[in-house]
Amino acid sequence: MLEKVLPHAMLKAKPKLESRIRPLKWDWTIVYDMLSGKDNSGFGWNEHRQMVVVEDIVWNSYISSHKATGKFRHRSFPYYY
């Protein structure tokens, strides 16, 4: 099936592709939830740096209840916008 969709990509291992895509989807969901969540006022997106921005006090509070978000405090995520 991959050969039909991407004939010149030389991708043959579906599990390998899925293992690469799964973390990307997970990270995208984390960033989306930070920016679009109901109780997440103050979060914004810095287009130039391609990262989530918010005041340190808000970060510390949010990270205490959402452990997986800590890696995005100082890391860009160019796949979001």
Tell me if 24 is assigned to some domain.
Answer: yes
Q: What is the tally of structural domains in the chain?
A: 1
Token pair 């109780």 is at which residue?
39
pLDDT for the residue 64: 93
Instruction: Answer yes or no: is pLDDT of 10 > 80.
Output: no
Tell me if 2 is assigned to some domain.
Answer: no
9: tokens are: 């990509």
Tell me if 60 is assigned to some domain.
Answer: yes
| Residue 68 structural domain | 14-72
| Dihedral pair phi/psi, residue 40, rounded to 5° | -115, 50
pTM: 0.75
Span of 5-9, 14-18, 19-23, 58-62 with lowest mean pLDDT: 5-9
What is the rounded distance in angstroms from the CA atom of residue 28 to the CA atom of residue 23? 8
Q: 30-74, pLDDT tens digit by residue?
A: 999 999 988 788 899 999 999 999 999 999 999 999 999 999 999
Tell me if 43 is assigned to some domain.
Answer: yes
